[in-house]
Structure 1
């Protein structure tokens, strides 16, 4: 797929205090979404919006188009 993540999303979330345990326990995001981040798969726009909110960034800060 020509769109990929520029950063390791789960590491960035962990740096902000959101471990995968906390994400699941507080129902911030589900296991399937976490697995997609682990596998480098692109998630829904709703989940991207949530990531941008948690990381205080713009989509262009975490995604890039690659030919």
Structure 2
């Protein structure tokens, strides 16, 4: 399961990226912003954009915690 290590929208706001600016410049879609707000996973292109805007590495933004269901499904 992918979890955000930080409040992405708050961190973007600190860097000057308001929701208006993000939508106006088409950095991220409205759907992606909604997924981030709900803590849901996003696609790699969006994750890359966030990392660029925040000037952070992927492992600074997300963490992967393997759930028991994922262990059952994927572990051999």
Tell me the TM-score normalised to structure 2 length.
Answer: 0.81
When you count helix as a share of all residues, which structure comes out higher? 2
Aligned equivalents of 1:30 and 1:43: distance in 2?
Answer: 11
Aligned to 2:43: 44
Count residues in correspondence.
66
- What aligned pairs does 1:1-67 form with structure 2 within 5 A after superposition? 2-67=1-66
- Tell me, what secondary structure is at the counterpart of 1:64? strand
State the shift of 1:32 in Å. 0.4
Structure with larger Rg: 2
Moved over 3 A (4+): none
> CA RMSD for the aligned pairs?
0.9
Q: Which segments of 5 or more consecutive residues in structure 1 lack a partner in the other structure?
A: none
State the shift of 1:66 in Å. 2.0
- Tell me, what secondary structure is at the counterpart of 2:63? strand
Tell me the TM-score normalised to structure 1 length.
Answer: 0.91
Q: Which segments of 5 or more consecutive residues in structure 2 lack a partner in the other structure?
A: 67-76
